[in-house]
Amino acid sequence: MSTRTLIRGGLVVTAADEIHADVLIEDGRIAALAAHGSDVAAGWTADRTIDATDRYVVPGGVDAHTHMELPFGGTSASDTFETGTRAAAWGGTTTLVDFAVQSTGHSLREGLDTWYAKADGNCSVDYGFHMILSDVNEHTLNEMDKLVEEGITSFKLFMAYPGVFYSDDGQILRAMQRGAENGGLIMMHAENGIAIDVLVEQALARGETDPRYHGEVRKALLEAEATHRAIQLSRVAGAPLYVVHVSAEEAVAELAAARDKGLPVFGETCPQYLFLSTDNLAEPDFEGAKYVCSTPLRPREHQAALWRGLRTNDLQVVSTDHCPFCFVGQKELGRGDFSRIPNGLPGVENRMDLLHQAVVDGHISRRRWIEIACATPARMFGLYPQKGTIAPGADADIVVYDPHATQTMSAKTHHMNVDYSAYEGKTVTGRVETVLSRGELVIDQRTFVGRAGHGSFVPRSTCQYLD
């Protein structure tokens, strides 16, 4: 039986428009929009009506960078697909693109099947996968073609982490060449890991073991160098490039210079780089470990370049790189040696709210908020217009957002399975009120009413940001 839902009286905000409109949902999809108060809208009836007066009605967030259950640093990221997708929904995100991992010496198929199994039946919102390439060889390259056909249309490579995920320049070039042929988008972790490992060893030899040294050895210049090298390799291969978790001003400059030449080079940053800094890494009593991620947090001065990049479209996407590890028992593995602190921050629940705060603070416009958090990640990764917008035919993934409510972020109240908040005590204006995933309520007036297993794998087309 078809269910009709009506969202009445809100301000519908998309990347393109802001209109006072009623939204009619039928069979999990958006059936129609009509001006609030118009004869057309007044004539609509529904099984369920949501009053969105004084609220924004926005597309569900698309977080194109998460790591649920990632085995890393001798432990495993603490959010499962069940807890992580529930927390995502609480934060107004209705689509995740998580990273399946190829283990060295194994096939892409094995890695991908492992991730399908982790997610299947456990998610309360929809998800797709990118594939991390840890072992670029002839077999892997052939498998890339098959994955693209299966809807896994993006591949992450690492210039960092020698001995773990690392690819050398020859492997990177070959993967890029293959991507240029099969349409797979190469995503790059751009840090010079070989040089960083030298600096890590030297720092530890000097007795510099505290979390803040993580930020000192992973130098901005080594992010910029790797970004530059990745751009040049992508030019040689004739492939577009998406640089993940950009944090350094110098790396933004490399992207901007490439884009000024008209190259198809894209950049993502994350809330932690926009709102946190090396001040957090320097917190006493090993608390800085909570803020250890790679690329690292930078001195506060870098933030202006990131905000500028988001305004000028030298950076196109804000994703979270959500990769939570509990302070107790996980981050603590690195006491006495910062290089053993598992890398990653929690944040899947906080992204939409922090970026709304950026609207309040005047960094970005309301439509740009939706563009960088919903529409562009959907287009970048082949999910548009099914995801990322509110338009007839699109999936009814919708957030009713209260722009006036305030909230204070805290581990005491968040829903991520991690024992601290990276934003503990931060008060922001704006709060998710109600969330729909394909027309079904997941959050109803701040109550979780979703279901593990509602969320489905979404096969993706190739990058649409080049169209």
Q: Is 322 in the site for ligand DUC (CB under 6 A)?
A: no
Choosing from 124, 294, 376, 421, the residue that interacts with ligand DUC (CB under 6 A) is 294
**Cα 234 from Cα 408, distance rounded (Å):** 43
Using DSSP, how many helices (H) and how many strands (E) does the chain show? Answer: 15, 18
Q: Is 246 in the site for ligand DUC (CB under 6 A)?
A: no
Q: Is 171 in the site for ligand DUC (CB under 6 A)?
A: no
Residues 356-415 that bind ligand DUC (CB under 6 A): none
Q: Is 189 in the site for ligand DUC (CB under 6 A)?
A: yes
The answer to whether residues 115 and 101 touch, using CB atoms and an 8 Å cutoff, is yes
Q: Toward Zn ion, which CB reaches closer, 231 or 435?
A: 231
Q: Toward Zn ion, which CB reaches closer, 183 or 347?
A: 347
Q: Toward ligand DUC, which CB reaches closer, 33 or 293?
A: 293
Choosing from 344, 388, 430, 455, the residue that interacts with ligand DUC (CB under 6 A) is 344
Element housing 251 (H / E): helix 249-260
Q: Is 167 in the site for ligand DUC (CB under 6 A)?
A: no
Report CA-CA distances (Å) from 422 to 202, 204, 287, 289, 325.
29, 26, 11, 11, 11
Q: Is 323 in the site for ligand DUC (CB under 6 A)?
A: yes
The answer to whether residues 442 and 448 touch, using CB atoms and an 8 Å cutoff, is yes
CA-based nearest residue to 428, from 352, 372, 320, 317: 352
The rounded Cα 332 to chain-centroid distance in angstroms is: 25
For residue 267, the partner it binds in ligand DUC, Zn ion, none, with Cβ less than 5 to 8 A by kind, is none
Q: Would you tell me which residues interact with Zn ion (CB under 5 A)?
A: 106, 110, 189, 321
The DSSP annotation for 120-146 comes to TTT-SSEEEEEEE-SS-SHHHHHHHHH
CA-based nearest residue to 281, from 351, 196, 208, 226: 208
Q: Is 214 in the site for ligand DUC (CB under 6 A)?
A: no
CB of 247 to ligand DUC, least distance (A): 10
For residue 356, the partner it binds in ligand DUC, Zn ion, none, with Cβ less than 5 to 8 A by kind, is none
Q: Is 293 in the site for ligand DUC (CB under 6 A)?
A: yes
Read off the tokens for 446: 């701040």
Closest-by-Cβ residue to ligand DUC is 293
Report CA-CA distances (Å) from 349 to 41, 236, 259.
33, 39, 31
CB of 73 to ligand DUC, least distance (A): 9
Number of residues that bind ligand DUC (CB under 6 A): 9
Under the rule (CB under 6 A), what is the footprint of ligand DUC? 67, 72, 189, 293-294, 321, 323, 343-344
